[in-house]
Amino acid sequence: MHLEDRLSAYLDSELDATQQRQAEEHLVECAECRTELSSVAEVRDQLRSLPVVEVRAGTFEDVAEVVPLRRARFRPMAAAAAVAALVVGVGFGVAGNQSVPLQLNQVVEQHVARASSDPGFNVLQVQAVANR
Amino acid sequence: MASNEAIPTWEQVATDYGRVIYNFAYRLTGNRDDASDLAQEVLVRVRRGLATYRPGSFEGWLWRITRNAFLDEVRRKQRRPTTELPAEDRSALVTSPTPDDVLAETRLSDEMQAALLNLPYEFREAVVMCDVVGLTYQEIADAAEVPVGTVRSRIHRGRLMLRDALEAG
Protein backbone atom coordinates (compact mmCIF):
# COMPACT_ATOMS: atom_id res chain seq x y z
CA MET A 1 0.00 0.00 0.00
CA HIS A 2 1.45 3.32 -1.11
CA LEU A 3 1.38 6.65 0.67
CA GLU A 4 -0.64 8.46 -2.03
CA ASP A 5 -2.08 11.72 -0.65
CA ARG A 6 -0.04 11.33 2.52
CA LEU A 7 2.94 12.27 0.35
CA SER A 8 1.67 15.83 -0.10
CA ALA A 9 0.66 15.99 3.57
CA TYR A 10 4.18 14.83 4.45
CA LEU A 11 5.72 17.60 2.34
CA ASP A 12 3.40 20.16 3.89
CA SER A 13 4.06 19.02 7.49
CA GLU A 14 0.37 18.14 7.80
CA LEU A 15 0.91 14.66 9.30
CA ASP A 16 1.01 14.02 13.02
CA ALA A 17 4.22 12.64 14.53
CA THR A 18 3.17 9.00 14.24
CA GLN A 19 2.03 9.35 10.62
CA GLN A 20 5.21 11.20 9.74
CA ARG A 21 7.40 8.44 11.18
CA GLN A 22 5.36 5.80 9.35
CA ALA A 23 5.68 7.74 6.09
CA GLU A 24 9.45 8.02 6.49
CA GLU A 25 9.75 4.28 7.18
CA HIS A 26 7.67 3.52 4.10
CA LEU A 27 9.75 5.83 1.91
CA VAL A 28 12.91 3.97 2.86
CA GLU A 29 11.36 0.76 1.53
CA CYS A 30 9.34 2.01 -1.48
CA ALA A 31 11.09 3.39 -4.58
CA GLU A 32 7.74 4.11 -6.26
CA CYS A 33 6.67 6.44 -3.44
CA ARG A 34 10.10 8.09 -3.43
CA THR A 35 9.74 8.85 -7.13
CA GLU A 36 6.25 10.27 -6.65
CA LEU A 37 7.41 12.30 -3.68
CA SER A 38 10.18 13.80 -5.78
CA SER A 39 7.90 14.80 -8.64
CA VAL A 40 5.22 16.21 -6.34
CA ALA A 41 7.86 18.19 -4.45
CA GLU A 42 9.07 19.67 -7.74
CA VAL A 43 5.57 20.81 -8.71
CA ARG A 44 5.07 22.21 -5.21
CA ASP A 45 8.31 24.19 -5.47
CA GLN A 46 7.30 25.58 -8.86
CA LEU A 47 3.92 26.67 -7.52
CA ARG A 48 5.54 28.36 -4.56
CA SER A 49 8.00 30.10 -6.87
CA LEU A 50 5.32 31.72 -9.02
CA PRO A 51 5.96 35.46 -9.12
CA VAL A 52 3.81 37.66 -6.95
CA VAL A 53 1.58 39.77 -9.16
CA GLU A 54 1.23 43.34 -7.94
CA VAL A 55 -2.24 44.74 -7.51
CA ARG A 56 -3.23 47.32 -10.10
CA ALA A 57 -3.22 50.81 -8.71
CA GLY A 58 -6.67 51.92 -7.66
CA THR A 59 -8.16 48.44 -7.42
CA PHE A 60 -9.34 48.97 -3.86
CA GLU A 61 -9.47 52.74 -3.68
CA ASP A 62 -12.83 52.84 -5.40
CA VAL A 63 -14.58 50.29 -3.20
CA ALA A 64 -15.95 52.94 -0.84
CA GLU A 65 -17.28 55.17 -3.60
CA VAL A 66 -18.13 52.96 -6.56
CA VAL A 67 -20.40 50.54 -4.76
CA PRO A 68 -22.82 52.01 -2.24
CA LEU A 69 -23.67 50.05 0.85
CA ARG A 70 -27.18 48.66 1.21
CA ARG A 71 -29.63 51.51 1.06
CA ALA A 72 -31.94 51.76 4.04
CA ARG A 73 -35.60 52.65 3.63
CA PHE A 74 -36.51 56.10 4.82
CA ARG A 75 -37.08 55.93 8.57
CA PRO A 76 -38.23 59.05 10.39
CA MET A 77 -36.21 58.56 13.57
CA ALA A 78 -33.11 57.68 11.62
CA ALA A 79 -33.59 60.80 9.53
CA ALA A 80 -33.87 62.94 12.63
CA ALA A 81 -30.72 61.35 14.03
CA ALA A 82 -28.93 61.99 10.74
CA VAL A 83 -29.86 65.66 10.89
CA ALA A 84 -28.62 65.82 14.48
CA ALA A 85 -25.35 64.27 13.39
CA LEU A 86 -24.99 66.89 10.68
CA VAL A 87 -25.51 69.63 13.23
CA VAL A 88 -22.63 68.39 15.34
CA GLY A 89 -20.24 68.63 12.49
CA VAL A 90 -20.53 66.03 9.78
CA GLY A 91 -20.20 68.28 6.81
CA PHE A 92 -19.95 65.95 3.90
CA GLY A 93 -22.23 63.42 2.30
CA VAL A 94 -22.25 61.14 -0.69
CA ALA A 95 -24.30 61.81 -3.78
CA GLY A 96 -23.91 59.30 -6.56
CA ASN A 97 -20.26 58.44 -6.90
CA GLN A 98 -18.85 61.71 -5.67
CA SER A 99 -18.44 63.28 -2.28
CA VAL A 100 -20.00 66.74 -2.21
CA PRO A 101 -20.44 69.20 0.64
CA LEU A 102 -23.94 69.40 2.05
CA GLN A 103 -25.70 72.61 2.93
CA LEU A 104 -27.23 72.09 6.35
CA ASN A 105 -30.19 74.39 5.77
CA GLN A 106 -31.07 72.51 2.58
CA VAL A 107 -30.91 69.18 4.35
CA VAL A 108 -33.22 70.38 7.11
CA GLU A 109 -35.65 71.83 4.59
CA GLN A 110 -35.73 68.56 2.69
CA HIS A 111 -36.42 66.55 5.80
CA VAL A 112 -39.11 68.90 7.00
CA ALA A 113 -40.71 68.80 3.56
CA ARG A 114 -40.63 65.00 3.62
CA ALA A 115 -42.17 65.07 7.10
CA SER A 116 -45.25 66.81 5.77
CA SER A 117 -46.13 63.72 3.74
CA ASP A 118 -45.07 61.21 6.38
CA PRO A 119 -47.47 60.96 9.33
CA GLY A 120 -44.92 59.08 11.40
CA PHE A 121 -42.29 61.79 11.15
CA ASN A 122 -41.65 63.94 14.18
CA VAL A 123 -41.46 67.46 12.73
CA LEU A 124 -40.87 69.08 16.07
CA GLN A 125 -37.82 66.95 16.67
CA VAL A 126 -36.20 68.07 13.43
CA GLN A 127 -37.13 71.70 13.96
CA ALA A 128 -35.79 71.64 17.49
CA VAL A 129 -32.49 70.39 16.17
CA ALA A 130 -32.46 72.90 13.34
CA ASN A 131 -33.21 75.81 15.65
CA ARG A 132 -30.31 75.15 18.04
CA MET B 1 -7.04 35.59 15.06
CA ALA B 2 -8.17 34.87 18.60
CA SER B 3 -11.74 35.32 19.78
CA ASN B 4 -10.78 38.64 21.41
CA GLU B 5 -9.56 39.96 18.06
CA ALA B 6 -10.12 43.54 17.09
CA ILE B 7 -12.35 43.61 14.04
CA PRO B 8 -10.45 45.34 11.22
CA THR B 9 -11.84 47.99 8.96
CA TRP B 10 -12.23 47.09 5.31
CA GLU B 11 -9.38 49.44 4.53
CA GLN B 12 -7.14 47.40 6.84
CA VAL B 13 -8.32 44.22 5.11
CA ALA B 14 -7.43 45.80 1.76
CA THR B 15 -3.98 46.73 3.06
CA ASP B 16 -3.24 43.45 4.82
CA TYR B 17 -4.90 40.97 2.45
CA GLY B 18 -5.46 42.83 -0.81
CA ARG B 19 -2.35 41.55 -2.52
CA VAL B 20 -2.84 37.92 -1.53
CA ILE B 21 -6.52 38.03 -2.53
CA TYR B 22 -5.50 39.53 -5.88
CA ASN B 23 -2.87 36.83 -6.41
CA PHE B 24 -5.36 34.11 -5.47
CA ALA B 25 -7.78 35.59 -8.01
CA TYR B 26 -5.08 35.93 -10.66
CA ARG B 27 -3.95 32.31 -10.33
CA LEU B 28 -7.55 31.11 -10.48
CA THR B 29 -8.59 33.25 -13.45
CA GLY B 30 -5.33 33.70 -15.35
CA ASN B 31 -5.84 37.33 -16.24
CA ARG B 32 -5.53 40.69 -14.55
CA ASP B 33 -8.91 42.12 -15.50
CA ASP B 34 -10.82 39.26 -13.90
CA ALA B 35 -8.47 39.30 -10.92
CA SER B 36 -9.07 43.01 -10.37
CA ASP B 37 -12.83 42.64 -10.67
CA LEU B 38 -12.84 39.68 -8.30
CA ALA B 39 -10.56 41.27 -5.72
CA GLN B 40 -12.69 44.41 -5.75
CA GLU B 41 -15.87 42.34 -5.35
CA VAL B 42 -14.33 40.54 -2.38
CA LEU B 43 -13.53 43.85 -0.69
CA VAL B 44 -17.06 45.09 -1.33
CA ARG B 45 -18.41 41.96 0.34
CA VAL B 46 -15.95 42.36 3.20
CA ARG B 47 -17.04 45.95 3.65
CA ARG B 48 -20.68 44.90 3.82
CA GLY B 49 -20.00 41.83 5.92
CA LEU B 50 -17.86 43.47 8.58
CA ALA B 51 -20.97 45.16 9.99
CA THR B 52 -22.30 41.78 11.08
CA TYR B 53 -19.01 39.90 11.49
CA ARG B 54 -18.48 38.43 14.93
CA PRO B 55 -14.95 37.63 16.14
CA GLY B 56 -13.95 34.09 15.36
CA SER B 57 -11.88 32.71 12.50
CA PHE B 58 -11.32 35.89 10.51
CA GLU B 59 -9.21 34.15 7.88
CA GLY B 60 -11.79 31.40 7.47
CA TRP B 61 -14.48 34.05 7.07
CA LEU B 62 -12.39 36.06 4.60
CA TRP B 63 -11.50 33.10 2.40
CA ARG B 64 -15.09 31.82 2.38
CA ILE B 65 -16.10 35.25 1.07
CA THR B 66 -13.30 35.11 -1.49
CA ARG B 67 -14.16 31.68 -2.87
CA ASN B 68 -17.89 32.42 -2.87
CA ALA B 69 -17.25 35.62 -4.82
CA PHE B 70 -15.23 33.63 -7.34
CA LEU B 71 -17.87 30.90 -7.67
CA ASP B 72 -20.62 33.51 -8.09
CA GLU B 73 -18.58 35.10 -10.85
CA VAL B 74 -18.12 31.73 -12.56
CA ARG B 75 -21.87 31.10 -12.38
CA ARG B 76 -22.61 34.59 -13.69
CA LYS B 77 -20.38 34.02 -16.69
CA GLN B 78 -21.87 30.60 -17.33
CA ARG B 79 -25.25 32.30 -17.68
CA ARG B 80 -23.69 34.47 -20.40
CA PRO B 81 -21.74 31.87 -22.39
CA THR B 82 -21.21 34.13 -25.37
CA THR B 83 -18.85 36.30 -23.31
CA GLU B 84 -16.81 33.35 -22.03
CA LEU B 85 -13.80 32.20 -23.95
CA PRO B 86 -13.76 28.49 -24.78
CA ALA B 87 -11.67 26.56 -22.27
CA GLU B 88 -9.15 25.52 -24.89
CA ASP B 89 -8.51 29.16 -25.78
CA ARG B 90 -7.85 30.35 -22.25
CA SER B 91 -4.23 29.35 -22.37
CA ALA B 92 -3.82 32.13 -24.93
CA LEU B 93 -4.39 34.57 -22.11
CA VAL B 94 -1.26 33.41 -20.37
CA THR B 95 0.90 32.57 -23.35
CA SER B 96 0.37 36.09 -24.73
CA PRO B 97 0.85 38.24 -21.63
CA THR B 98 0.57 42.01 -21.68
CA PRO B 99 3.84 44.02 -21.64
CA ASP B 100 3.48 44.55 -17.89
CA ASP B 101 3.20 40.82 -17.34
CA VAL B 102 6.29 40.05 -19.38
CA LEU B 103 8.53 41.72 -16.83
CA ALA B 104 7.20 39.63 -13.98
CA GLU B 105 6.60 36.23 -15.49
CA THR B 106 8.82 33.54 -16.91
CA ARG B 107 7.99 30.88 -19.46
CA LEU B 108 7.87 28.30 -16.71
CA SER B 109 5.34 30.26 -14.72
CA ASP B 110 3.24 30.71 -17.85
CA GLU B 111 3.22 26.97 -18.39
CA MET B 112 2.27 26.44 -14.78
CA GLN B 113 -0.48 29.06 -15.06
CA ALA B 114 -1.86 27.37 -18.17
CA ALA B 115 -1.79 24.01 -16.39
CA LEU B 116 -3.58 25.51 -13.39
CA LEU B 117 -6.36 26.86 -15.57
CA ASN B 118 -6.99 23.39 -16.94
CA LEU B 119 -7.46 21.86 -13.49
CA PRO B 120 -11.02 21.22 -12.34
CA TYR B 121 -12.00 24.06 -10.00
CA GLU B 122 -11.91 22.22 -6.68
CA PHE B 123 -8.35 21.00 -7.34
CA ARG B 124 -7.17 24.39 -8.60
CA GLU B 125 -8.63 26.12 -5.58
CA ALA B 126 -7.04 23.70 -3.10
CA VAL B 127 -3.61 23.90 -4.73
CA VAL B 128 -3.67 27.70 -5.01
CA MET B 129 -4.87 28.16 -1.44
CA CYS B 130 -2.10 25.87 -0.22
CA ASP B 131 0.86 26.83 -2.40
CA VAL B 132 0.12 30.42 -3.44
CA VAL B 133 -1.84 31.78 -0.48
CA GLY B 134 -0.11 29.61 2.13
CA LEU B 135 -3.17 28.40 4.03
CA THR B 136 -3.04 25.26 6.17
CA TYR B 137 -5.18 22.25 5.26
CA GLN B 138 -7.55 23.12 8.11
CA GLU B 139 -7.91 26.71 6.92
CA ILE B 140 -8.65 25.48 3.38
CA ALA B 141 -11.20 23.01 4.77
CA ASP B 142 -12.88 25.85 6.70
CA ALA B 143 -12.99 28.09 3.64
CA ALA B 144 -14.23 25.39 1.26
CA GLU B 145 -16.49 23.82 3.90
CA VAL B 146 -15.20 20.29 3.26
CA PRO B 147 -13.38 17.78 5.51
CA VAL B 148 -9.61 18.08 5.91
CA GLY B 149 -9.19 14.66 4.30
CA THR B 150 -10.89 15.99 1.17
CA VAL B 151 -8.49 18.93 1.09
CA ARG B 152 -5.51 16.59 1.42
CA SER B 153 -6.75 14.47 -1.45
CA ARG B 154 -7.47 17.49 -3.67
CA ILE B 155 -4.05 19.01 -3.08
CA HIS B 156 -2.22 15.79 -3.88
CA ARG B 157 -4.30 14.93 -6.93
CA GLY B 158 -4.08 18.52 -8.10
CA ARG B 159 -0.30 18.46 -7.91
CA LEU B 160 -0.19 15.14 -9.77
CA MET B 161 -2.41 16.55 -12.52
CA LEU B 162 -0.13 19.57 -12.79
CA ARG B 163 2.90 17.30 -13.01
CA ASP B 164 1.27 15.30 -15.80
CA ALA B 165 0.26 18.46 -17.68
CA LEU B 166 3.75 19.96 -17.43
CA GLU B 167 5.37 16.72 -18.58
CA ALA B 168 2.94 16.46 -21.51
CA GLY B 169 3.43 20.12 -22.46
Q: What is the rounded CA–CA span in Å between residue A66 and residue A57?
A: 15
Distances (CA, A) of B81 to A20, B28, B68, B87, B121: 47, 19, 20, 11, 18
ipTM: 0.80
Best mutation target among B28, B156, B162 (most A Cβ atoms within 10 Å) is B156
Those residues with Cβ within 8 angstroms of residue B129's Cβ, 6 or more apart along the chain or in another chain: B24, B63, B135, B139, B140, B143, B144
Q: Quick one: which of A105, A107, A104, A126 has its CA closest to A115?
A: A126
Please indicate if any CB of chain A lies within 8 Å of the CB of B28: no
Say if CB A65 and CB A99 are below 8 A apart: yes
Quick check: A32 contacting B, CB < 8 Å?
A: no
H/E element holding B75?
A: helix B58-78
Record the pTM.
0.69
Question: Minimal CA–CA distance to B126: which of A50, A55, A9, A19?
Answer: A9
Q: Would you give the distance in Å from CA A77 to the centre of its chain?
A: 29
Question: Measured between alpha carbons, how far is B38 from B27 in angstroms, rounded to an integer?
Answer: 12
- Cβ atoms within 10 Å, residue B57: 17
Give me the residues of chain B with pLDDT under 50, please.
Answer: 1-2, 82-95, 104
pLDDT at A110: 56
Average pLDDT (A27-44) is: 97
Instruction: Kindly report, residue by residue over B4-16, the tens digit of the pLDDT.
Output: 667 888 899 999 9
Contact between chains at A42 and B105 (C-beta distance less than 8 A): no
Q: Which candidate from B35, B113, B155 shows the least CB-CB separation from A8?
A: B155
pLDDT: is A12 or A89 the higher one? A12
State the alpha helices, DSSP H only, in A88-122.
Answer: 104-115
- Smallest CA-to-CA distance from B50 within A28, A106, A70, A91 is with A70
Encoded amino acid at B78, one letter = Q
| Contact between chains at B157 and A43 (C-beta distance less than 8 A) | no
Option in A39, A55, A69 nearest B163 (CB): A39
Indicate whether A120 pLDDT > 70: no
Does B44 lie at the interface with A, CB-CB under 8 angstroms?
Answer: yes
Question: Looking at the DSSP assignment, which residues form a beta bridge with residue A93?
Answer: A100
